[in-house]
Structure 1
């Protein structure tokens, strides 16, 4: 679209384009590694009531699709494959697995090389799919609220507002923010002067040599699951971040408890674990080779040294395994193969291999359940006895959404949008802290999570680039109403707040009533 057109015309044209071509869901059982697709066609969004105009929007989003976070599962499985090859213990399909693992390792070692905006190529970076997920997410935000952003852009010189952007400080979250905002400015260049990176909370750790974080980083909001004494120590109970810090330490302690470990081990002890492991692995390895695991007779670790060079010959990386990731059972081998299958779904531009060949659909569904079981107890609602320890550190993030709208209610319109970029470890707890239907459903400790007794699914709660957005509208009388989008689907707030709807079954909520409803919950 020609840049000489008015911003309002550009954004309206963008809205038509986006509405005409909604993204399609990704097929496969990839759990939280599922590549992102919006969960509702924008053309079906409810129109705001007569007299209401958009004045603000805010978002928190998980980083986009990425590579493996480290050379662990891939190298351990490759070591196992090498041993099987040496023993002539591979099936015809199994012989193809090793080169595909090596291709995946190479793609991860060089991931991001040559991509503008990626500072350090390697494991853990966004894939091209992940970059595009955030570019398109930004484009759909503009398309959804063309009048808001057109007005904000037109007023940039006379009455500037801010597009506040913060992230967790981790590379893939920071890069997601960068690609998101780049997309905003490509479609709406007039917004460029409004981008604002607030100073990071400081000085922390309290009482020690401070660790300065770059502008735009907020660990207390967006990395609260892993706050650490050496970077985030808070001693003063009156400090606004003390509750998050204390909740983070309580969560990290919970992760190490015997109670937690007992919950996590349940799937591996079920008969189905052995059945699925055999079904997956006997397509690749001979039964005699697999029998060597019996009685602890075999183990394979992420050892070895691997050197990879980019296609242009300008970057060479040598990776060495740590030996800390070990395969000691059929179940462990199959789970690690599933991990490669799942991550490869978001690396289709970088990895020519098709890992679905090695993971039949019925087995992929089973291992997605195992991963869901683990995430349900480790990141999700967990048990009734856990009393919210898995999500209370996300209350500050939830409250930050309310604080932003509180400012609007006071007439403070400095912020036109707030954009936050984080991780599954924060998105999943936030969904629980919000009490969203089909998300906050803890189980008694005596009842083990299953697909039959609980609706919680990682692919719906936190696929790659998962996001929560609030659109805020105001009428001439100053009334504020809010719509919640979860993965771009119009979503109800917690059931206790149904009385805050502006009409029965409406997706718009009166903000004053909504705040009161959640205020009661926060003080339970």
Structure 2
């Protein structure tokens, strides 16, 4: 039975008709170049008010898990092996002598959490998103509880997504205690294998050979090791990227350890190593090579599930919200599949920051999320709007918005332009 309760949107209502994702408010900050390991931060939350006569009746999303420790010790073992080799040859710099102790302190924090599990920051990220979501749609979720309707949660089989779902639930219930606890199930479609092609891998290799990336790698290694040792290292870019991965993971563990690795990765070098990291991710899970779809087509079952859940609700189903907690390997291809802002441009030549707007810190950021909300009027007509990292965005240019508001779309139109 449809509710005619008024919807309270307890947030700022966006008045502008255009909100590009390149805006600083939407993007948070990229000033330290952490690529897709950038913590979610606090983007604030905004919504666009629905056209007159339309009331919220369904919410769904897909999001990446929160900040975590490294998924395994491989990066640390490789970095430590290089360091031990330098120590044996008396080739450590004064700064480099501290690396071993810092790495081991970092590992202690990770082992306490468990490799691949949420950090304190990661738990806070999804608890805060839950709190803001419940505050934004408080009237709706209160009515859901009163009507005895259901909330559904989906996770991948991986524990950190289950943790994220749990902390999201806590955030929701901290604002609306009467909201029903989500019934959670594992959805294996929320694990998507990488989809790089021969052309994408060749382009990635080309990026790794760029003089700017090589120079950045050398800058990092010379902070740790003497020049004579660095000159003899094989694959110096790969070895520097291991240090960069520690550096980019550390912000997500800021409440669990004071180790940052920032002494070894100046911002000037981080920019180029982030570009190399983003290039690899772009071809594996992003828009990818021009004319090819393998990098993102694995997200099609997720899009199908979005439409299936929406159709079920329109048909009278009692599930009022579906929350999917997954991985960057899902949010990135899903964004590319639907051509979300800054995920619509494929690469006709090797990816670079100068030639393509795609960024891992937007499309793949920790706890990043895409949300669809559906509104219905008394005649049963349905309109859908989207938020990306809690900011209103329009669907891609091939989708024709409703004449009532350029941020709202008919379901038939979305099935046509996104299908």
What TM-score do you get using the length of structure 1 for normalisation?
A: 0.72
Q: For the Cα contact (< 8 Å) 1:32–1:462, is it kept in 2?
A: yes
Query: In the aligned structure 2, how far is the partner of 1:47 from the partner of 1:171?
Result: 36
| Secondary structure, counterpart of 1:165 in structure 2 | strand
Q: Deviations over 1:98-120 (max 9, x none)?
A: 21111112211221xxxxxxxxx
Separation in 1, partners of 2:26, 2:102: 29
- Kept in 2, the 8 Å contact 1:53–1:475? The answer is yes
Partner of 1:202: none
Aligned equivalents of 1:438, 1:274: Cα separation in 2? 27
Structure 2 distance, partners of 1:489, 1:110, is 35
Question: SS of the counterpart of 1:136?
Answer: helix
State the match for 1:265 in structure 2: 205
What is the aligned partner in structure 2 of residue 510 from structure 1? 410
77-86 or 95-104, which deviates more:
77-86
- Asked whether the 8 Å contact 2:91–2:225 carries over to 1, the reply is yes
**TM-aligned CA deviation for residue 260 of structure 1:** 4.0
Q: Does 1:217 align with 2:186?
A: yes
- 1:373/1:450 contact within 8 Å kept: yes
Matched, 1:181 2:181: no
Q: Does 1:398 align with 2:312?
A: no
**In the aligned structure 2, how far is the partner of 1:420 from the partner of 1:340?**
28
Contact between 1:394 and 1:426, CA under 8 Å: does it hold in 2?
yes
Q: Which residue of 1 aligns with 2:28?
A: 25
**Distance in structure 1 (CA, Å) of the matches to 2:199 and 2:335:** 23
Aligned to 1:416: 320
Query: Would you say 1:372 and 2:278 are equivalent positions?
Result: yes
Q: Distance in 2 between matches of 1:370 and 1:355?
A: 19
The corresponding residue for 2:19 is none
- Partner SS, residue 440 of structure 1: coil
SS of alignment partner, residue 333 of structure 1: helix
Query: How do 1:303-342 residues align onto structure 2 when only pairs under 5 Å count?
Result: 328-342=234-248
Kept in 2, the 8 Å contact 1:502–1:510? The answer is no
Work out whether 1:145 is the aligned partner of 2:137: yes
Distance 2:344 2:413 in 1: 21
Divergent runs of 4+, >4 A: 14-17
Contact 1:484/1:490 (<8 A) preserved: yes
Aligned partner of residue 169 in structure 1, secondary structure: coil
Mark the CA change 1:431 to 1:269 in structure 2 (over 3 Å): closer, same or farther.
same
Structure 1 match to 2:221? 281
- Distance in 2, matches of 1:189 and 1:74, equals 42
Q: Give secondary structure in 2 for the equivalent of 1:345.
A: helix
In the aligned structure 2, how far is the partner of 1:153 from the partner of 1:166?
20
Aligned to 1:61: 63
Structure 1 contact 24–37 (Cα < 8 Å) conserved:
no
- Check if 1:350 corresponds to 2:338: no
1:269 is displaced (CA, Å) by: 1.8
- What residue ranges of structure 2 are gaps of 5+ in the alignment? 15-24
CA drift at 1:28: 1.6
Aligned twin of 2:18: none
1:487 partnered with 2:383: no
Counterpart in the other structure of 2:401:
500
C-alpha contact 2:149 2:320 (8 A) present in aligned 1:
yes
* Runs of 5+ consecutive residues of structure 1 not aligned to the other structure: 1-7, 112-121, 198-215, 227-251, 294-327
Once residues 180 and 23 of structure 1 are traced to their aligned partners in structure 2, the CA distance between those partners, rounded to angstroms, is 21
Q: Name the Cα RMSD after superposition.
A: 2.4
Structure 1: how far apart are the matches of 2:26 and 2:337? 28
1:64–1:130 Cα contact (<8 Å) kept? yes
Stretch deviating more after TM superposition (456-465 or 173-182): 173-182
**Is the radius of gyration larger for structure 1 or structure 2?**
1
* Shift in Å, 1:507: 1.4
> Which position in structure 2 is the counterpart of 1:300?
none
Q: Could you say what secondary structure the match of 2:224 adopts?
A: coil
Kept in 1, the 8 Å contact 2:152–2:182? The answer is: yes
Which of residues 33, 37, 40 in structure 2 aligns to 1:36?
A: 40
Equivalences, count:
402
- Deviation sequence 1:457-502 (CA, Å, 0-9, x none): 11011100111101111122222111100111111112111x2333
Q: Secondary structure at the match of 1:266?
A: helix
> Following superposition of structure 1 onto structure 2, how do residues 153-172 of structure 1 map, counting pairs within 5 Å?
153-155=145-147, 160-172=148-160
Q: Aligned partners of 2:345 and 2:277: how far apart in 1? A: 17
Q: Distance in 2 between matches of 1:470 and 1:130?
A: 23
Q: 2:125 aligns with which of 133, 158, 162?
A: 133
